[in-house]
Amino acid sequence: MPDNRKYAIYSRKSKFTGKGESIENQIEICRRALKSKYDVVDEDIVEFEDEGFSGGNTKRPKFQEMMERCRNGEFQLVICYRLDRISRNTSDFVNTYEELKEHSVCFRSVSDNIDDTSPMGRAMMMISSVFAQLERDIIAERITDNMHELAKSGRWLGGNPPTGYRSAETVGSMTVDGKIHKARMLEKNPEEAELVGLVFTKFVELRSITKVETYLLNNDFKSKKGNTLSRFAIKTILQNPVYAIADEDTWVYLNETDMQLYGSRDDFDGIHGIMAYNKTIQKKGRSMKQKAPSEWIVAVGKHEGIIEGKRWVEVQHLLEKNRDKAYRKPKSNTALLSGLLFCACCGSFMRPKLSSRVNKQGEKVYDYLCELKERSHGLKCDNKRINGNELDRQICDEIKHLGEDDSGLMKLLRNSQKSLNETFADSQAEIDRLTEKKKQYEAERTNLVKALTLAGETMAAEDIISQINDLHTKTSELERQISEHRRLMENSDITDEQYQSLADMLSSFAKTIDTLDVMKKRDVIRCFVRRVEWDGENIHLYLMGAESGGTDVLHSEPKCECSKRDTYAFSLAEKDGE
């Protein structure tokens, strides 16, 4: 029985450069190889391209899509230009190859001349994958060597400088891995340096990052970007060796840790600060993560330190103690409105806070509490907390009623349908009027062109040309207006079928929402709810349509009192409020 499955071409390049084989070249080489050996046409080939992704792991969108389609039985063979396009990690490649075999998918690498249909090809494949891993390890080792070279210089690598410093270019340059880099160093910013000193002083005094956060918030201290300093930002400042003055205390502490300390005791002169390299993991599209201190490479920098070593070391020991005895605040895994519920008084998120109480239904009681109120201990916002169990239950009840004919949403939909249809009719009438006007201008212009032919080189010709240009300008403006009205019409027509489809969808959700688990309930709520606000007395529900892309059934999000017609407001019996 013939195998009618398709052929997959996979290509990858870490980033767009003029070096190496481009994505396009890889695809073309694989296409030629397929057609030379197999009886295939273009329709039998599916291409997968990952540009800007490393071969260090297999977390690449198109690669994952290809593997999923292999699991679904869509392909009989996967081909790539070179084996390391699949992965530079031996373990990842072996796992990928085993999975392909499990789903009866053959593999071929063109430039390595590897075809797994023969025993020799399979052996060569494993050997090549080992060499790909070796190459990756050599690259990683070279990067570490570069870090040590940078540590010798104590230079700043660029990017956003830490609070308390600015980046300054110095005279000269240095060569690392054959590349010339301009020499840069950190320069103290006096105003920000005072804030850094205050953060360390207050932490030693209060023994709590949360209390330091509250103090800074209530006294209006801001980051260099004008934001309030979060607990994460404060902890980052307290942990960063860049502020520590390189003195005897700092030397002893760093020498006792797992950090890779570069330099001698003589380098710790009591003036300069510490530079830490290889501190973070930075991936495109993901938040920055800090590596374990054992992977840091530290050395004395060229910049001036801010915090004396004794104080900096004391803070590190305090942080360690706090980490050991830290209270792990329980989080509610049943709260439905996280990320949707806002404090109407200050605009902050309201987050669930689980208590030890149990209600009549046997549920753990949780409240929603304003983040700013919690952080400022009520100084910056005093909005009441709200019973989360009751609020979530009532929101679900509201959604159940949305599909009823007399619900506020259905009335709003009908009004919107009527309003949009009226806009559609008005726009059509205006297009007809503008089109008629355009025809008049075009007729006048045609007559003027004829008159210009008769006028020849006389003085009247200039006047006729001026009139023709004027009519051309007016015609262009009419065309612009017609185009704008047509665009409005495209977005202003709700058919009866569309209206009924949305009504049916609402009714369906109303019947099934009680049977859904927490995650699915959250998804349902986000289909219809854009935002929820609690003002201490009433809940305001801001709704949106259920179509993908979040098309608003309502108008824009309310910004003032006159916009409250776009919300549902209802009170909630609050027995547990503050």
Provide the 10 A C-beta neighbour count for residue 346.
Answer: 15
- Give, as one character, the DSSP assignment of residue 268: -
Whole-angstrom distance, CA of residue 573 vs CA of residue 389: 12
Q: Which residue did the predictor score with more confidence, 504 or 563?
A: 504
pLDDT for the residue numbered 554: 31
Q: With pLDDT > 70 as the criterion, what percentage of the chain qualifies?
A: 71
Q: Is the sign of the CA dihedral 143, 148, 151, 153 positive or negative? A: negative
Whole-angstrom distance, CA of residue 27 vs CA of residue 400: 52
Average pLDDT over residues 339-354: 89
pLDDT for the residue numbered 242: 92
Q: How far, in whole angstroms, is CA 191 from its chain's centroid?
A: 32
pLDDT for the residue numbered 105: 92
pLDDT in tens, 63-122: 999 999 999 999 999 999 988 888 877 667 777 887 898 899 998 888 877 766 655 566
Whole-angstrom distance, CA of residue 551 vs CA of residue 541: 16
Amino acid at 491: N
Contact 537, 345 (CB under 8 A): no
Pairing of strands 297-304, 260-261: parallel
pLDDT for the residue numbered 559: 32
Architecture of the domain delimited by 165-325:
Alpha-Beta Complex (3.90)
Average pLDDT over residues 276-288: 66
Q: Give which of 395, 415, 353, 369 is closest to 530, Cα–Cα.
A: 395
Pick the CATH number of 6-136 from 3.40.50.1390, 3.40.640.10, 3.20.10.10, 3.40.109.10: 3.40.50.1390
Positions of E strands within 475-561: 529-534, 538-543
Q: Which residue did the predictor score with more confidence, 422 or 470?
A: 470
Instruction: Give the lowest-confidence range in 90-104, 310-324, 432-446, 497-511.
Output: 497-511
Residue 173 pairs in a beta bridge with 182
Whole-angstrom distance, CA of residue 77 vs CA of residue 69: 12
Instruction: Give the lowest-confidence range in 123-137, 222-236, 436-450.
Output: 123-137
pLDDT for the residue numbered 198: 94
pLDDT in tens, 161-171: 889 998 887 65
Provide the 10 A C-beta neighbour count for residue 267.
Answer: 14
pLDDT for the residue numbered 291: 79
* DSSP character string of 540-564: EEEE--SSTT---SS-SPP-SGGGG
Q: Model pTM greater than 0.75?
A: no
Torsions phi, psi for 305 (to 5 deg):
-75, 165
552 pLDDT higher than 60: no
Contact 45, 34 (CB under 8 A): yes
Average pLDDT over residues 455-464: 74
Average pLDDT over residues 382-386: 90
Average pLDDT score over the chain: 77
Whole-angstrom distance, CA of residue 309 vs CA of residue 249: 5
Whole-angstrom distance, CA of residue 447 vs CA of residue 188: 75
pLDDT in tens, 140-165: 666 656 655 655 566 777 678 889 99
Contact 528, 399 (CB under 8 A): yes
pLDDT for the residue numbered 241: 92
Q: Which residue did the predictor score with more confidence, 40 or 544?
A: 40
> How would residue 567 be classed by pLDDT, with cut points 50, 70 and 90?
very low
Contact 6, 46 (CB under 8 A): yes
Distances (CA, A) of 464 to 39, 442, 455: 69, 14, 9
Torsions phi, psi for 54 (to 5 deg):
-75, 155
Structure tokens at 99: 């999975």
> How would residue 476 be classed by pLDDT, with cut points 50, 70 and 90?
confident
Q: 318-321 contacts: CB < 8 A, separation 24 or more?
A: 318/203, 318/204, 318/207, 319/235, 319/238, 319/239
Whose structure tokens read 């494993």? 126
Whole-angstrom distance, CA of residue 108 vs CA of residue 100: 11
pLDDT for the residue numbered 118: 59
529 pLDDT higher than 60: yes
327 pLDDT higher than 70: no
pLDDT for the residue numbered 59: 87
Whole-angstrom distance, CA of residue 539 vs CA of residue 528: 16
Distances (CA, A) of 312 to 120, 216, 254, 292, 444: 61, 20, 11, 19, 84
Instruction: Give the lowest-confidence range in 193-197, 319-323, 437-441.
Output: 319-323
Positions of E strands within 122-271: 165-176, 179-188, 260-261
Whole-angstrom distance, CA of residue 353 vs CA of residue 330: 8
pLDDT for the residue numbered 564: 36
pLDDT in tens, 27-38: 999 999 898 888
Contact 70, 107 (CB under 8 A): no
468, 472, 474, 479 alpha-carbon torsion, rounded to 10°: 150
pLDDT for the residue numbered 232: 87
Q: With pLDDT > 90 as the criterion, what percentage of the chain qualifies?
A: 19
